Chain A
Amino acid sequence: MPSDATLPPADDADSQERESEPIALKPFTGEALEVDLRTPWIAAVCAWVFPGAGHFYQRRYVKGCIFMVCILATYFAGLIMSEGHAVYASWGPEGKRWQYFMQVGVGLPALPAIVQSRRARSEEFLDAVRQADDNADGEVTGDELITLFDKNDLNQQQDSRSLARYRPADLLARWDKNSNGVLEMDELADSKPWLNGWMAPPSNADQLADWHYKYGALFDMGTLYTLIAGLLNVLAIFDAQAGPLILSREEDYEKKKFIQTRMKFKQG
């Protein structure tokens, strides 16, 4: 029985054996995949503006069709099942619609929500101004506006948020088209959201609760569908900008080789 000192260290023998073993992987000998991304940043912008458009710009028509059909179908399915209420832009007292930041990933189809939001806020403001016509003569003078502002105590009340953005002088400058110092009711054009309120924010928390009551799970499901559509388009944007996320064959080979080597060490 030889002493331990005469034997070679076990680790060294194992490692020499491992290094000498060939790894049973065939190196890649075919042609690498080439994708013409044209101008990547233009493709990315197109992909955001309209799902699939970036890929059409790059002449990758098949993938463009897949992205367009899947993303838009998901988005509009969500929108229809909630009758257009699942997508709206609002950061007001009735609730902070954080989901919109993801829904807007779908691009142009989600942008009307911003226009609708602005119109809804303008309508709130115009309603307040209409109520300021104390003597009901169809005209709102500067004094009546000041009274309105004082009455609402605009710095305190959240409900008057849309009005709080303005000062009486700003209001007159913006809406007084005749420049006669008086706001006439005819000048206060209708600013109600278009399309029967599709993608318009709720006017208050009660209306939001009413939507939840009316649509039930469909409202949440519509939100989920539209939100996921937006996130899926983010993937499509990255694909348009940088190409598919596949590993190159060489990288794939190196990765497999590394995994095999690690497995051998564990077995040893």
Chain B
Amino acid sequence: MMDVIPVLATTNIYWFLAPLVLAISLVFSATRHEDLPPIFLGSIRLATSSMVLLGIVFLVLLVVSWWN
């Protein structure tokens, strides 16, 4: 267990976003559909749109940070 912590501590915090988005989109999509194919399709759509939205927010913040 102790070996995991230093590795995680040096990992860029943005990498933690990917599994979180994946889990959220899968669970949310599973609450909207009953069969597996639409669940996966819905989760891919939701994960993509979430990542795009977060990417836009990231870019906006990046641009804003350049001015300071």
Contacts and interface: CB of A to CB of B under 8 A. Distances in A.
Which label, helix, strand, loop or mixed, suits the secondary structure of the A interface?
helix
A3 B36 CA distance: 65
Specify the main secondary structure of chain B where it touches its partner. Answer: helix
A236 B1 contact: no
Given A216-B9, A245-B31, A71 B23 contact: yes
Interface string A67-95: 10011011001001101000000000000
Most buried by A among B16, B23, B36: B23
A120 interface: no
Contact of A71 (B5, B9, B27, B34): B27
Given A83-B5, A221-B13, A235 B31 contact: yes
Which 3 A/B pairs are nearest by Cβ-Cβ distance? A70-B23, A232-B27, A239-B31
Contact of B36 (A62, A81, A238, A246): A62
Contacts of A63: 30, 34, 39
B23 A236 contact: no
Interface in A207-236: 215-218, 221, 224-225, 228-229, 232, 235-236
B46 interface: no
A244 B27 CA distance: 11
Contacts of A80: 1, 4
B32 to A, nearest CB: 5
A259 interface: no
A35 interface: yes
A66 interface: yes
Given A244-B31, A246-B32, A246-B34, A232 B5 contact: no
B11 to A, nearest CB: 9
Contacts of A35: 34
Contacts of B23: 70-71, 73-74, 228-229, 232
Interface of A: 33, 35, 60, 62-63, 66-67, 70-71, 73-74, 77, 80-81, 83, 215-218, 221, 224-225, 228-229, 232, 235-236, 238-239, 244-246
A132 B2 CA distance: 38
A225 B36 CA distance: 25
Nearest to A238: B31
A70 B22 CA distance: 9
Contact of A74 (B20, B28, B33): B20
Interface string B14-49: 001001101110111011111110010000000000
Contacts of A246: 32-34
